[in-house]
Structure 1
Amino acid sequence: MRYFVLFIAFLCVSAFADDDLFQSSGAFSARKGGVSSRSSAALQPSFSEVPVDSTYILGPGDFLDLMLEDNYLSLQVYPDGSVAIEECGAVVVGGHTLAEAREMILDLAAKRYKREQCFVQLAALKKFKVNAMGAISMVGQQLVEPQTRLSYFLRQVGGLLPTANNENIMVIRDNDTLHIDYSAMYMKGNFEDDIMLKQGDKVFVPFVEISDNVSLLFPGYRTSVAYQEGRTLQEYFDLAGGARMQNYGYKAVCVREPGQAPRWITISEMKQTKVAPNTEVEFTVQDMLVYVGGAVNYIGRHPYDPSWHAIDYVAASGINTISGSWNQIKVWRGKNPEALKLSVTEDQIMPGDYIEVPKSHYESFKDFTLFLASLLTVISSAFIIYVNYNN
């Protein structure tokens, strides 16, 4: 029994004396020969959109897994670009490709270990900071995950402001400036423009110039797009991100160009409509009406149609034989209505207009004659009653 106790004690002392103990992470802590243990940072999952090949450029923050014969450890690339192996020394790998760094590290490890039994692999990609300025919600430095694309970064900084010129986002890289059409990226699927950001990149989103723009008014939201000659209203709508917003069921579009009276168009006409600089375009969801009264079969209101003229509303109301001529039709407009003499086939009708269709002159004269006849009948009847009463 005494020998058995001594044997158990000897095993315990040997176990505590040996450095090859299992760690909580499941990896071996290789302390043989002074090699440091594997870092927990290297054991975290590392995600990559595309495979990282041997052309990857190492930099501060990258982690490398290193196998030295039967020992394992992790190396971090320090801010000066170097890595160090205990009892072997240090080497600068920052700025070198993964393939070049692998050979440099293996050459360094060969001072103490058998080179053919050593292996180097990339364990975790570096994070870095990117400066973002201009028409974005969050201005300043932002920490960026490895292999982050421009579109994701712009969402990370809170998105673009309504006054942003999303057709010319600038990514300043070294001594070069990349111009990215962000609108074409998300509207037309130009994925090749959705570049991956690199360490040292600076992102600038310019503002729309105040003097040349087209303003678009949606329910509860207003934005503007840089003016460009020849561009249609549908293109301005797309550039403003209208297709990505809630569709409330737009009924019509009011176009207010500088120095001109407002005009209304249908949604389908947006693809053919071109506007001047500093135009204001309002999308409405209200049911707009036009009222028709007078000598028509159906007196009342009709849904507004920007393509209709007065003659269309009169025809929809059912014109009859007692109606007057077209040049007698009047249009009443405004909060304090005034009668307007408009061309029934050319001039535009506005929402809320009241179209009055008068009777013909003959019908008016006939009505007046009947009125006089009725009045004379009443007077004569009253005279006869008066005479008979006095007698």
Structure 2
Amino acid sequence: MRSFFVYLFLACVCAFASDSMFGNSASARSLVLGEGSSTRGAASLTPMYAEMAVDSSYVLGPGDFLDLMLEDKYLSIQIYPDGSVAIEECGAVNVGGKTFGEAQKLILDLVAKRYKREYCFVQLAALKKFRVNAMGAVGLVGQHIVEPQTRLSLFIRSIGNPLPNANTQDVQVIRGKDTIHVDYTAMTTNGDFNNDIMLEQGDKVFIPFVPMGDNVSLMFPGYRTSVAYSPERTLADYFDLAGANRMHNYGYKAVCVREPDKEPRWITLADMKTTTVAPNTEVEFFVKELFVYIGGAVNYIGRYAYNPTWHAIDYIASGGVNTNTGSWDQVKVWRGEKPKAISVNVATDPILPGDYIEIPKSHYESFKDFTLFMASLLSVISSAFIIYVTYNK
């Protein structure tokens, strides 16, 4: 029984101390927020990552949050889908589509009916998220939720980047009745940041495909892409437009150009800056070592590293031929999966990887060989005749 009275006494002391130090719960709230209640929402307290300051020209819309200070009361209000905001004990006003500066005036005019205007304040608490449609040659087609102050380049990367057959020079941002044409390639390769626009609510992004039959295909190890054809572009331009500068450099040895209805030709990487091609051309970049084979009347028979700038005469000179032993005008090249001999001009005709260059002997060497053969043959015949006569005696 004594313990019960002790507990009861301690409980009374604690209750008295609580009332004396903090008062009731309403009084405690007034220490923090004043006498008015607070309706600040969690959304208004969520940090927002803004690229730049939002000024009074920002256009409000559904999803934006506003913070209001009404004398000693703090409110956090959201703009409803119809563009209106409702303020307790004051009414509602439509601010959708208004700039922040215009909305401030409308809200202050509304709350001035109950509060002193000089003690009222309106500010942005959180910017709205919105949806943007993405169509065309993109990785993820459809609607996507976009954070406020999102630029076009970030949005394109977030939806899986353009497809290999996308025409990134004409990205179209449809905004209301207007269409903004953006050269995404110039943005990514040349750093043209003026094209990197901010997306707005209601925007639609369309990336067109490269038209079939009007492109240039580029083939890299394990990857193939295409770029829209243009008569004035060089292979170096197509290389940049394909984004090859951002790919791993495997150490390309040579470039094979296959134009429609023409024989393949090989060029060096340096020649790409001055080489133009026809539509539907295939350009393949080789990383493996390529060789040309030399045989016949040369000092060093074997294989030589392929050089796209060399002709047959260069390989023959490397093999160590001279006019006494080899013939320049009868050089033949064996080419193809089932090699066939073709005659070439040693100074002008191109040599392809895998070719076998045959250098025949000169007439002098051929005559000398014939003479030696005949001398050997006569020597054998005379020896046989002598043996025959000797044994028949």
Shorter-chain TM range is over 0.9
1:281 aligns with: 283
Give the one of 110, 121, 129 matched to 1:119.
Answer: 121
Q: Which residue of 2 aligns with 1:225?
A: 227
Between the aligned residues of both structures, percent identity stands at 65
Matching residue of 1:25: none
Q: Cα deviation per residue 1:192-251 (whole Å; 9 max; x = unaligned)?
A: 011000001001110111021111111111111111112111111111111111111111
CA positional deviation for 1:10: 4.0
In the alignment, which residue of structure 2 is the partner of 1:7? 16
Amino acid at match of 1:227: Y
Contact 1:29 1:37 in 2 (8 A): no
Residue 267 (str. 1) matches residue 276 (str. 2): no
Q: Could you list the per-position Cα deviations for residues 252-310 of structure 1 after superposition, in whole angstroms to 9, with x for gaps in the alignment?
A: 11111111111111110011111111111111111111111111122111111111111
Aligned: 1:45 with 2:47 = yes
**How far, CA to CA, are the matches of 1:320 and 1:155 in structure 2?**
61
Question: Take 1:6 and 1:331, find their aligned partners in 2: how far apart are those partners?
Answer: 109
Q: Secondary structure at the match of 1:371?
A: helix
Given the superposition, is the C-alpha separation of residues 384 and 127 from structure 1 closer, same or farther in structure 2, using an over 3 Å criterion? same
SS of match in other structure, 1:20: helix
CA contact 2:33–2:72 (8 Å) conserved in 1: no
Q: What are the residue-to-residue correspondences of 1:72-151 with 2, within 5 Å?
A: 72-151=74-153
1:211 equivalent among 205, 209, 213: 213
1:39-58 CA-partner distances (Å, limit 9, x unpaired): 11111111111111111111
Q: Which amino acid aligns with 1:277?
A: P
How much has 1:344 moved relative to structure 2?
Answer: 0.8
**Correspondence list, 1:215-364, <5 A:** 215-364=217-366
Distance 2:17 2:216 in 1: 87
TM-score scaled by length of structure 1: 0.92
Q: Which amino acid aligns with 2:100?
A: L
1:159 counterpart residue number: 161
- Residue 79 of structure 2 is aligned to residue 70 of structure 1: no
Which runs of no fewer than 5 residues in structure 1 stay unpaired? 23-27
The structural deviation recorded for 1:385 is 4.5
Residues 29 and 38, structure 1, Cα contact 8 Å, conserved in 2: no
2:5 is aligned to: none
Q: CA deviation at 1:6?
A: 6.7
Cα distance, 1:377–1:171 mapped onto 2, change above 3 Å: same
Task: Tell me how far 1:321 sits from its aligned partner.
Answer: 4.3
Q: Give the partner amino acid of 2:222.
A: G
Look up the match of 1:186: 188
What amino acid does structure 2 have at the position aligned with 1:39?
A: G
Asked whether 1:199 is paired with 2:236, we answer no
SS at match of 2:44: helix
SS at match of 2:169: coil
Are 1:20 and 2:29 counterparts? yes
Query: CA 1:304/1:4 → structure 2, altered by over 3 Å: closer, same or farther?
Result: closer
Q: CA deviation at 1:390?
A: 6.0
Compute the displacement of 1:82 (Å). 1.3
Asked whether the 8 Å contact 2:268–2:309 carries over to 1, the reply is: yes
Code of the residue aligned with 1:62 in structure 2: it is: D
What is the identity, as a one-letter code, of the residue corresponding to 2:103? A
2: distance between equivalents of 1:307 and 1:70? 83
Counterpart CA distance in 1 for 2:20 and 2:52 is: 49
What is the aligned partner in structure 2 of residue 171 from structure 1? 173
1:51 counterpart letter in structure 2:
A
Q: Does structure 2 retain, via aligned residues, the 8 Å contact 1:20–1:29?
A: yes
Q: Return the alpha-carbon distance in structure 2 between the equivalents of residues 321 and 347 of structure 1.
A: 20
For normalisation by structure 2, the TM-score amounts to 0.92
What RMSD in Å do the two structures reach over aligned CA positions? 2.1
Deviations 1:93-142 (A, max 9, x none): 11111111112222222222222112111111110000110000100000
Is the Cα contact below 8 Å between 2:333 and 2:356 reproduced in 1?
A: yes
Tell me the amino acid that sits aligned with residue 216 of structure 2. V
Residue 372 of structure 1 deviates from its aligned partner by 2.2
Partners of 2:242 and 2:301 lie apart in 1 by 41
Report the Cα offset of residue 389 of structure 1.
5.5
Q: Structure 2: 5+ residue runs without aligned partners?
A: 1-8
Q: Is the 8 A contact 2:167 2:208 kept in 1?
A: yes
Aligned length, in residue pairs: 384
Q: What is the CA–CA distance in structure 2 between the aligned matches of 1:266 and 1:7, rounded to whole Å?
A: 93
Contact 2:137 2:166 in 1 (8 A): yes
Q: Which moved more, 1:107-116 or 1:51-60?
A: 107-116
